[in-house]
């Protein structure tokens, strides 16, 4: 087992454990409760269908929970360690900084996937418990978990990069989420397609027949998301390698 692999695994495990022990889990619990409350209440409405559930999950999970959690955890992950100088132990270690950065990224993705899974299952279960229509419910929950895993991959790379590059990444992150991903994604035409949310919805159209999704080639969307992720991870690794922290 190579030194780089051992170092990568160590950084990933350490960063994941550190994120899970952070008090931000209280905010995650509140967001999860909000999702469950809204999904459960919506299920009691007259004429509720799985198409309606799918539309609601797009708004609650893909458009809100996924990017917000990625921003909260990703933007502060490396930036906080830079601010309190605890990252000195990492960047002065014999392990290449680019490997360390990849370890941070992997740890972030693992934690966000875990949190997303828990919240999605709770929200989906709340809907199914109170809904008179349950056929296809499990398939819809699995679909949204898979979509969010893909989204976590991209959003984590984006916000981890911003947190490494900028001292106050949260403001730009919020602008990106609510202006670009929120407002611009809803604008008809080509510009709305240049968003992570749109590409995820194109992939979603291939995974389920419930709800209305964006049209397009799902394979191209996956390829675009993977390429963007790779570029952002490489850019973040380059920035960390050049960073000077005394």
pLDDT value of position 145: 96
- Residue 137 near residue 131 (C-beta atoms within 8 A): yes
Q: CA geometry: angle at 158 spanning 143 and 94, to 5°?
A: 115
pLDDT value of position 105: 95
Rounded Cα–Cα distance for residues 109 and 125 (Å): 24
CA 161 and chain centroid, separation: 14
pLDDT value of position 1: 55
pLDDT in tens, 87-97: 777 766 777 88
pLDDT value of position 244: 67
State the pTM of this model: 0.92
pLDDT in tens, 149-164: 999 999 999 999 999 9
Mean pLDDT of 216-245: 91
What does the mean pLDDT of the chain come to?
88
Enumerate the H helices of the chain as residue ranges: 3-21, 25-42, 50-57, 66-83, 88-91, 97-130, 137-165, 169-175, 196-207, 218-242
Rounded Cα–Cα distance for residues 77 and 71 (Å): 10
Q: CA geometry: angle at 43 spanning 41 and 47, to 5°?
A: 125
Number of other CB atoms surrounding residue 77 within 10 Å: 23
pLDDT value of position 146: 95
pLDDT value of position 234: 96
User: What are the domain boundaries of the chain?
Assistant: 3-242
Mean pLDDT of 123-134: 90
Mean pLDDT of 200-229: 92
136 contact partners, CB below 8 Å, separation of at least 6:
50, 208, 210
Percent of the chain clearing pLDDT 70 (strictly above): 96
Q: What are the tokens at 240? A: 């960390």
The band of 184, judged by pLDDT with boundaries at 50, 70 and 90, is confident
């Amino acid at each position: 087992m190579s030194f780089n692999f051992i170092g990568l695994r160590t950084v990933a495990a350490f960063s994941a454990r550190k994120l899970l022990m952070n008090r931000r889990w209280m905010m995650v619990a509140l967001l999860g409760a909000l999702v469950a409350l809204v999904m459960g209440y919506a299920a009691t409405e007259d004429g509720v269908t799985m198409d309606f559930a799918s539309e609601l999950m797009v708004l609650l999970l893909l458009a809100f929970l996924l990017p917000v959690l990625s921003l909260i955890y990703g933007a502060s992950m490396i930036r906080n360690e830079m601010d309190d100088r605890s990252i000195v132990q990492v960047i002065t270690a014999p392990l290449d900084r680019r490997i360390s950065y990849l370890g941070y990224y992997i740890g972030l993705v693992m934690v966000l996937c875990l949190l997303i899974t828990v919240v999605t299952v709770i929200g989906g279960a709340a809907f199914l418990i109170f809904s008179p229509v349950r056929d296809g419910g499990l398939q819809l929950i699995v679909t949204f978990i898979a979509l969010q895993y893909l989204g976590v991959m991209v959003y984590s790379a984006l916000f981890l990069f911003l947190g490494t590059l900028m001292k106050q990444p949260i403001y730009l992150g919020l602008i990106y989420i609510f202006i670009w991903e929120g407002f611009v994604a809803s604008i008809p035409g080509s510009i709305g397609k240049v968003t992570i949310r749109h590409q995820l919805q194109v992939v979603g159209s291939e995974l389920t027949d419930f709800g209305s999704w964006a049209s397009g080639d799902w394979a191209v969307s996956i390829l675009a998301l993977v390429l963007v992720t790779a570029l952002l991870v490489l850019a973040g690794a380059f920035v960390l390698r050049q960073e000077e922290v005394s």
